Amino acid sequence: MKKMAATQLVNPDLVKERQNAAFSPEHLTYFLYGGPEKTKRKRFLQNLVIEGVKKLGVKQYATVSREEQYEQALQKYAYLVDTERQLGITNSTDKALLHEAVFPCESFPYILQYAAFINPFTMLASEEQKAKWLPLMKNFRLVGTYAQTEMGHGSFLRGLETTATYDPSTQEFVLHSPTISSIKYWPAGLGKTANACIVMAQLITKGHNYGMHAFLLQIRDLDTHQPLSGITVGDIGSKFGLSANDNGFLKMDNVRIPRNNMLMRHSRVLPDGTYIEPKNDRLMYGGMTSIRTDVVGVASRRLCIAVTIAIRYSAVRRQSEIEPGAGEVQVLDFQTQQYRLFPQLAAAYATTFASTTISAFYRTVSPHIERGDLQELPMLHALSAGLKAYTSWTCADGVEVCRLACGGHGYSEASGLPKAYVDTTAACTYEGENYVLILQTARYLMKCCRMLAEGEQVPEVMDFLRPSTSETSRLDARLVMGDLIQAFAHRAARMTRDAAQSMQTSIVKGENPGQAWNSNSVQLVAAAKAFTELHVVRVFAEAVETMRGSLRHVMESLWRLFAVNNIVSSLGDFLVDGYLSTQQVSLLEPAQRDLLKELRPDAVSLVDALDFPDGVLDSALGRWDGQVYEALYDYSLRSKLNEKQVLDAYLKHQRPFMESQWKKHAASAVTSRL
Amino acid sequence: MKKMAATQLVNPDLVKERQNAAFSPEHLTYFLYGGPEKTKRKRFLQNLVIEGVKKLGVKQYATVSREEQYEQALQKYAYLVDTERQLGITNSTDKALLHEAVFPCESFPYILQYAAFINPFTMLASEEQKAKWLPLMKNFRLVGTYAQTEMGHGSFLRGLETTATYDPSTQEFVLHSPTISSIKYWPAGLGKTANACIVMAQLITKGHNYGMHAFLLQIRDLDTHQPLSGITVGDIGSKFGLSANDNGFLKMDNVRIPRNNMLMRHSRVLPDGTYIEPKNDRLMYGGMTSIRTDVVGVASRRLCIAVTIAIRYSAVRRQSEIEPGAGEVQVLDFQTQQYRLFPQLAAAYATTFASTTISAFYRTVSPHIERGDLQELPMLHALSAGLKAYTSWTCADGVEVCRLACGGHGYSEASGLPKAYVDTTAACTYEGENYVLILQTARYLMKCCRMLAEGEQVPEVMDFLRPSTSETSRLDARLVMGDLIQAFAHRAARMTRDAAQSMQTSIVKGENPGQAWNSNSVQLVAAAKAFTELHVVRVFAEAVETMRGSLRHVMESLWRLFAVNNIVSSLGDFLVDGYLSTQQVSLLEPAQRDLLKELRPDAVSLVDALDFPDGVLDSALGRWDGQVYEALYDYSLRSKLNEKQVLDAYLKHQRPFMESQWKKHAASAVTSRL
């Protein structure tokens, strides 16, 4: 246990937990990070920047104001980029590890510089444009973001109101925000940090509207950083989370930009105003898919962090007795605590494997798409949309369960859990609102149903939709993995077919396709969730099946808990058509309780294996050494309200109020000592 | 519509919604607030203080730092107390309405002055002590709180470590915090505001520990407000919410207080150190029950606020098309949006009626308890504990569903929804952690099971536990209220009996009662939730049954949605023993969708009827006039980050970083205009 320096006092309950594990957490860590060498590098990189950030003298995120959080994020980002360049880091795994360690569950103002400024620019700009501007972007002469959503308009692109009207007389586009609802709103880093952005606007030329197009717009002077003429820009104000990010607004008052600032790889406007159509408008898909795939990973990591904090704390925290007079027990010994936390532990691993798998799939398919082979695109799109929604929901809910399971102290920002929650729940909305996304997955399911009905081929992963020979489950007390998976497959298929059937019925009743889609959308959402859950159950099982020995044993139990827990929490889905019998169901709740008991001794090691350094957990409760009360007290002492013993607010508001009350009303003598 | 002044422009979608309602929201308002006269007074009081607070010049909560929130809360509280005294307000309904309007979804430092300083003092102090100190408390010479929880100890009182050791030589108690985990932690207002508190400590006299007792401790000088010698006190730091509250810590280093500072109504220590036992130690129950009953009301009001905001915004917000080319629709027309929001609307009303009913029950029973008749106490205790847990869970989850249903803008603090959530979820933990509480309800259920088995009488409300003649439901397509209620009763009874049975099995297997309780606690929690939900379903139905005409019609539909939705989300519970058949179940999901459609035209009026003034909603999205984008933009302009165009942070961190990057790496010419 090299992390336990000889001088570091570790809480004895945690020592005992670590001694009792039936498997080697280090081996699981290797599995997760790709072997001993990569694990070593991960640790080296994360520890390096955690120490580096300490040397910058920044204060703990939770102890400073939003303005200071923003300022510190600028400072930390500069350090991060310097470090990356010094180490010559270019691969995305290393970058993600560094980001996680410098901004643990925190956003930062430059977050879209690559993801949604340089990347879409690269996809949308002509070669000439790239040659001119990419160097400026990559070297931070241009700091940018992606200005698409408006106050009144989100995911429905055609509804956007911003206009880009071509003026052939000056060969310029006139960018304009015609209404208050058309003000660009929410883009990360737009408020104070960016000096440029990609603006999505309705292209109007020769009196005709050609729809959404992308334009490069400079918004601030590159030297003075003052907003340019016609530009009103600023921060949108405090949010639930993402506090260090200056999500911004942008109002354009007839701002003129050169014709060449329209990004012209796909469509073009000639000097005389003639519009040239794009050859293929499906190429934007790839970028969205990439970002959504990243969201799956981010959400999953947040749940991994939260469950590490909650399980370690629950091993340290002693509260109440199980047997009267036998002394207070570790709260992790309470069945209700296990029932709250272990399913989150299972979900943390499940989503981790789901993230790894979808990323690998994206990397495989991406080159095909780039060379114009779009065959796998619909499947990739459906799966990444579904997983983004499923994972952000599951992980946000899971983080909150972990927070609540830490009682009062979970409510303190010292726990790191509020921060983890607000950033995870944001992922339910950004990069495609979850209901909008999961309905895209449902649309693909409906398409596959139609294809099968018409005798067409569907991708192998959709084979579960084929009519099954068995309409009842073989599940028995052994809870065989295959039988459990089959239950998820059966449910997803039944719900998909039921939704397709309901759609058909609505159309027969005279609804048009749009109405029918809407009046069945609750069912469609449920079907798409069931499909996505099937996928997650499968990829988790596939990962477990490659493991051996004691590791295999504990991970198979964790997988089984994930499966059983998800069946029990939607039991009606499995019972309603008689697929599971009452008798089979009666096995599940006792099995769930047995699994909780079985996993109890390995719980701390299962979170240790996730291998988060304290600097990433950023939590008084989740510390490796379990010295939680010392850390909590230390945090409290740093509260800004403690900078003075007697606050100005006391002298200004409390003292005069008290005096006015007791002088007016109290007949009793004034005393200064009880 | 007197709220719509002629000059106030109301969003046309909201005007249309209000014109289309099938019932009179004003009549529902009268129902909720006790008639036209009381409604008029409610409006007068709330509008008065909303205007009064405006004149204080305080800034919007979400736009200022925590330190300023604290300061403004002191200022607003002084104004509130002055207003109460000027108006001669003493009744609790008026007080609650004023509090809600001055601190909408906000905590404040003096929150425990009455609830957990004056009230427990009154219950625990002798007549002589009351005569001496109550005037000082009531007139704010003493500002106080209740110091019970410690860093290492929460709901398990016997685990508290703080000691009060009697020294007969000086006739003083020595209060001491022997360890870091014994530091008092979390009491509201303790950090900076309170100058006194009730301390709960282990009483030690003549070498014997007599357990938890209450002591009055002065912590700050009444004139200088400096902490007294031996006292270390301060704010615990930033939390998820409750930001305006200085929840504090308190470390006592052998602090001496006079013998008479022990609160001596029930037990006493004589000058020589002799301990005199209390006559009845169950009298503390009443106070806890009262606070929990209040929590039910607070949580319910928060959900009412959130659902008002979300439904109004969903009527104003237009996004995406249902029929291609037919234009963007109100998002409230999407089935998924109705599916998210209308069950929250139903839960808002359900918990409102649950709150009214438990308060009335408390008021009935309370005088009996005070005169020593404790017969109804166990039932009151079980019900208030269950309702506190059920309501805080339901309302916190519901607020969050509302927030997420508002998309990106729901994430902005301008929406008022993050604030509503963080304060509501806190109620899952404070005043008794929900799992601890709901298990107390379960304990009462087990007791009633035993009593019935032994042929004893149980309170009428527990009659559902008697063996039923019918083991299958009569539910049909009419969804008769009685049949739906019977389903909840059947489920609660079955789950309670199953849990009792499992307990029995565990004990037969050799577990002691404590172990058996723990190893069945997941089932016990589920049974107690089912019981509490039955109670809520019933009291909501009883309220609806007193209504008539169009109001009865719409409220019955809302009740039915509440019932059907709760059955559908726990379908397995009703299917597993065959109580509902597959065929009966197949009626429910279509019925749920039909109810959503049916309630759609009345949704806005159903939230209007809750009658929250804009000052209480404190939300850009929930405004009566629906001018949401103007309000959102106005909020953004007031962000602190917008106070300067170019921040010092830019000059200090961003500019040097950018320069270092492009000077080092960019070969391209530096440009200041794209």
Chain B hits for A566, CB-CB cut-off 8 Å, are none
| Mean pLDDT in residue range A490-506 | 96
Chain B hits for A650, CB-CB cut-off 8 Å, are 74, 192-193, 225
Chain B hits for A135, CB-CB cut-off 8 Å, are 666-668
* pLDDT tens sequence across A221-243: 999 999 999 999 999 999 999 99
pLDDT at A665: 64
Task: Using DSSP bridges, classify how beta strands A196-205 and A163-167 pair: parallel, antiparallel or unpaired.
Answer: parallel
Residue A457: is its pLDDT beyond 60? yes
Q: Which of A71, A154, A191 lies closest to B408 in CB terms?
A: A154
> What gap in Å lies between CA A86 and CA B292, rounded to an integer?
58
Distance from CA of B72 to the nearest CA of A (A): 9
DSSP character at residue B259:
G
A474 closest CA partner among A463, A484, A460, A462? A484
Q: Helices A377-405 & A285-316, crossing angle to 10 degrees?
A: 20
Chain B hits for A564, CB-CB cut-off 8 Å, are none
Chain A interface mutation, best of B108, B226, B641, B663, highest count of A Cβ atoms under 10 Å:
B641
Contact state of A522 with B673 under an 8 Å Cβ cutoff? no
Contact state of B629 with A181 under an 8 Å Cβ cutoff? yes
Instruction: Name the residue of chain A whose CA is nearest to B217's CA.
Output: A674
Q: Which of A222, A317, A642 lies closest to B671 in CB terms?
A: A222
* pLDDT tens sequence across A310-349: 999 999 999 999 988 889 999 999 999 999 999 999 999 9
| Mean pLDDT in residue range A67-95 | 96
Q: Which of A181, A514, A650 lies closest to B225 in CB terms?
A: A650
Q: Which of A227, A639, A652 lies closest to B234 in CB terms?
A: A639
B639 closest CA partner among A599, A640, A239? A239
**Which residue has 């023993």 as its token pair?**
B577
Contact state of B218 with A673 under an 8 Å Cβ cutoff? yes
Strand partners, A209: A204
Q: List average pLDDT for each run of 10 residues in chain B, which is 674 residues long.
A: 56 97 97 97 98 96 96 97 94 95 96 94 95 95 96 88 98 98 97 98 97 97 97 98 97 98 95 90 63 94 98 96 90 98 98 97 89 89 97 98 98 98 97 95 97 93 85 95 97 96 96 96 98 98 97 98 98 95 94 97 98 98 98 97 96 95 63 59
Non-local (6+) Cβ contacts of A40 within 8 A are: none
Strand partners, A255: A175
What sign results for the dihedral spanned by CA atoms B3, B4, B8, B12?
positive
B645 closest CA partner among A65, A193, A145, A185? A193
Query: Per-residue confidence at A71, pLDDT binned at 50, 70, 90?
Result: very high
Contact state of A319 with B240 under an 8 Å Cβ cutoff? no
CA distances, A609 to each of A1, A19, B625 (Å): 12, 14, 54
B145 closest CA partner among B43, B71, B208, B233? B233
Chain A hits for B150, CB-CB cut-off 8 Å, are none
Residue A668: is its pLDDT beyond 70? no
Cα radius of gyration rounded to whole Å, chain B: 28
B642 closest CA partner among B63, B244, B68? B63
pLDDT at B370: 80
Active-site residue, selected from the candidate residues A106, A431, A433, A456: A431
Q: Which of A74, A636, A639 lies closest to B653 in CB terms?
A: A74
DSSP character at residue B318:
B
Contact state of A570 with B572 under an 8 Å Cβ cutoff? yes
Nearest 5°: CA angle at A329, between A328 and A332? 150
Q: Which of A141, A574, A672 lies closest to B222 in CB terms?
A: A672
Token pair of A479 as six digits = 């809870």
Contact state of B411 with A521 under an 8 Å Cβ cutoff? no
B541 closest CA partner among B530, B557, B526, B529? B557
How many contacts, defined by CB atoms under 8 Å, are there between A and B? 440
Task: Using DSSP bridges, classify how beta strands B144-147 and A231-235 pair: parallel, antiparallel or unpaired.
Answer: unpaired
Contact state of A336 with B135 under an 8 Å Cβ cutoff? no
> What gap in Å lies between CA B487 and CA B578, rounded to an integer?
11
Query: Could you tell me how many helices (H) and strands (E) chain A has, helices first?
Result: 25, 11
CA distances, A267 to each of A94, A204, A216, A275, A277 (Å): 36, 13, 14, 7, 5
Chain A hits for B412, CB-CB cut-off 8 Å, are 236-240
Chain A hits for B668, CB-CB cut-off 8 Å, are 135-136, 141
Chain B interface mutation, best of A192, A579, A595, highest count of B Cβ atoms under 10 Å:
A192
Token pair of A440 as six digits = 């895209």
Active-site residue, selected from the candidate residues B431, B454, B545, B598: B431
What SS3 state is found at B323?
Answer: coil
Q: Any catalytic annotation for residue A454?
A: no
> What gap in Å lies between CA B418 and CA A667, rounded to an integer?
44
Chain B interface mutation, best of A86, A141, A651, highest count of B Cβ atoms under 10 Å:
A141
For B234, the enclosing helix (H) or strand (E) is strand B231-235
Distance from CA of A298 to the nearest CA of B (A): 18
Q: Which of B629, B666, B672 lies closest to A223 in CB terms?
A: B672
Contact state of B322 with A518 under an 8 Å Cβ cutoff? yes
Contact state of B640 with A66 under an 8 Å Cβ cutoff? yes
Instruction: Name the residue of chain A whose CA is nearest to B261's CA.
Output: A674
DSSP character at residue B578:
S
* pLDDT tens sequence across B67-105: 999 999 999 999 999 999 999 999 999 999 999 999 999
Chain B interface mutation, best of A654, A663, A670, highest count of B Cβ atoms under 10 Å:
A654
pLDDT at B664: 72
Contact state of A633 with B180 under an 8 Å Cβ cutoff? yes
CB A117 within 8 A of CB A144: yes
Chain B hits for A661, CB-CB cut-off 8 Å, are 81, 139-141
Taking CB atoms within 8 Å and a gap of at least 24, the contacts of B122-130 are B123/B265, B123/B283, B123/B284, B123/B286, B123/B287, B124/B198, B124/B214, B124/B263, B124/B265, B124/B266, B125/B216, B125/B263, B125/B264, B125/B265, B126/B263, B126/B264, B126/B265, B127/B265, B129/B216, B129/B260, B129/B263, B129/B264, B129/B265
Contact state of B665 with A139 under an 8 Å Cβ cutoff? yes
Q: In chain B, how long is the greatest CA-to-CA distance?
A: 94
Chain B hits for A71, CB-CB cut-off 8 Å, are 647-649, 652-653
Instruction: Name the residue of chain B whose CA is nearest to A249's CA.
Output: B636
Nearest 5°: CA angle at B462, between B461 and B466? 130
Residue A6: is its pLDDT beyond 50? no
Half-sphere exposure of A614 (CA within 13 A, CB side): 15
**Which residue has 């949704």 as its token pair?**
B603
* pLDDT tens sequence across A115-149: 999 999 999 999 999 999 999 999 999 999 999 99
* pLDDT tens sequence across A622-638: 999 999 999 999 999 99
For A268, the enclosing helix (H) or strand (E) is strand A268-269
> What gap in Å lies between CA B622 and CA B613, rounded to an integer?
10
Q: Which of B221, B404, B660 lies closest to A428 in CB terms?
A: B404
Token pair of B519 as six digits = 């190893």
Contact state of A658 with B154 under an 8 Å Cβ cutoff? no
CB B298 within 8 A of CB B442: no
Q: SS3 sequence, B495-558?
A: HHHHHHHHHHHHHHCCCCHHHHHHHCHHHHHHHHHHHHHHHHHHHHHHHHHCCCHHHHHHHHHH
Strand partners, B318: B330
Q: Is the pTM of this model over 0.90?
A: yes
Q: Helices A25-33 & A36-56, crossing angle to 10 degrees?
A: 90
| Mean pLDDT in residue range A173-195 | 98
Distance from CA of B377 to the nearest CA of A (A): 24
Strand partners, A318: A330
For B13, the enclosing helix (H) or strand (E) is helix B12-19
Distance from CA of B666 to the nearest CA of A (A): 6
Is A271 buried (19+), middle (13-18) or exposed (0-12) by CB count in 10 A?
Answer: exposed
Distance from CA of B556 to the nearest CA of A (A): 23
Distance from CA of A365 to the nearest CA of B (A): 30
Buried b (16+ CB within 10 A) or exposed e, A358-387: bbebbeebbeebeeeebebbbbbbbbbbbb
pLDDT at A155: 76
Residue A427: is its pLDDT beyond 80? yes
